[in-house]
Structures are given as structure tokens and as C-alpha cells.
Chain A
Amino acid sequence: SQQGEEDPQALSIQEGENATMNCSYKTSINNLQWYRQNSGRGLVHLILIRSNEREKHSGRLRVTLDTSKKSSSLLITASRAADTASYFCATDAGTSGSRLTFGEGTQLTVNP
């Protein structure tokens, strides 16, 4: 199965609420990345957290990493309708040079 598993599979919230998505993985990693995909488009890199980091912020995004539990979470604060998209975590295990393994994604819908 895939290295990354995400939950929930789908999340529907109102504008202004916070959205939290979780990602679990199975092997040791160099870093974990989060990507966003709008419907029918390519993925866009959001944020990268290294294995020796526990938390990282970028604008309204907050990512945490717990290597002991092999899990990460992505928090989007004060969500907007424009945040509606699929969000994927991707792990870089540092082996097989530069390959990322993507999770199954969380479909986020932010209702106006």
C-alpha cells in the first residue's frame, strides 16, 4: 500500500473555520511535504517539514510532524472558499534518490 495514508478522505467546513488533515506513513523519512491540487490541475507545493523539525508555519498553514508516531497534520486556519481543493502529503524517504510517495489525499470543501 502507499507510504502515506490520509484522513479524513473528505472534509466539508464553513468559511472561517479551521481545517485539519492528517497523514500517516510507514518508513523513516528525510522530509514530508504537503501539496494542493485544484480539480483537474497539477499539484502545487505548499510546505516542507524536515524530519528534525516538529512544527512549521507558512501564512495560514501550520504543519506538525511526529516522527515517533510517523504522522503529520496540516492545519489551515480561517479557511476561505478558495481553499477548496485536494490536499496530499508526500514523503521523501531519502532512498531511491528524490522520489516522493504520495498519500491518497483529503478532499476539502469550504462552503461560503
Chain B
Amino acid sequence: EADIYQTPRYLVIGTGKKITLECSQTMGHDKMYWYQQDPGMELHLIHYSYGVNSTEKGDLSSESTVSRIRTEHFPLTLESARPSHTSQYLCASSEDKRNTQYFGPGTRLTVL
């Protein structure tokens, strides 16, 4: 089991709410990633970070934002959730050399 954690695991909220999805890892990895995945579909990279104070947008345009103030913590925020944001959000981290990614259990978000 990888030492990477996501909370909450499940979240059901109404349209217009602000939410923050938490992701933490205790492996000391510099690189962290957020993916969006619809059921049975491929993963889409939405944000990534190479270290503290470094954040980049991924391949899939997303209205979410991220921050990286501490190495172990990479939260994702939606300022105003909409039903189109309903999806599973997966956080991952990787060590420098092999680029093997370690995934958290995911947060399944439903916006009503």
C-alpha cells in the first residue's frame, strides 16, 4: 500500500458550493499529480507539481485550482462546483528517477 491519502472518499454537494479535495503523501516525493477519471474511462491529467510552490495545468482543461505549500500536501479546490464536475479525482505522487506513480484511493465527487 502506498502512503498517499485522499479525503474525503465520497462527497455529494449542491451546485455553487466551494470544495477542497485533500491529498497528502508521506513518501517525501517532490512530484504530485491530479487526474480526473469518469467511470470505466481513461485518466486525464488536470494538474501537476514538481515541488513546493510549483504548479502546472495538465492536458485536460479544468476549472479547479491547486496549491503546493508543503511537499506532502497537494489540495485541489473548486470555487463553484457544477454537475459537470461530477467525476472521480485521483491524486498521485512519484519519485524522481523511475517515474513510477503511487496513487491515492480517489475522491468520488457528485455535484447535484
A33→B35 CA distance, assembly (Å): 17
Flag if A31 contacts B99 (CB, 8 Å): yes
Flag if A88 contacts B103 (CB, 8 Å): no
Inter-chain contacts of B4 with A (CB < 8 A): 42
**Residues on B close to A: CB < 8 A?**
2, 4, 6, 31, 33, 35, 40-43, 45, 48, 50, 58-59, 88, 90, 92, 94, 96, 98-106, 108
Flag if A92 contacts B43 (CB, 8 Å): no
A34→B42 CA distance, assembly (Å): 13
Flag if A33 contacts B100 (CB, 8 Å): yes
Verify if A98 is at the interface (C-beta below 8 Å from B). yes
A45→B31 CA distance, assembly (Å): 16
Q: A31-B99, A48-B100 are in contact. Are A40 and B106 (CB under 8 A)?
A: yes
Q: Nearest chain-A residue to B50 (Cβ)?
A: A97
Leading 7 A-B pairs by shortest Cβ distance: A42-B103, A102-B43, A43-B103, A104-B42, A98-B99, A45-B100, A42-B105
Flag if A88 contacts B42 (CB, 8 Å): yes
Give chain A's interface secondary structure class: strand
Q: Nearest chain-B residue to A92 (Cβ)?
A: B99
Closest CB in chain A relative to B76 CB, distance in Å: 15
A43→B90 CA distance, assembly (Å): 9
Inter-chain contacts of B6 with A (CB < 8 A): 42
Inter-chain contacts of B104 with A (CB < 8 A): 42
A44→B104 CA distance, assembly (Å): 9
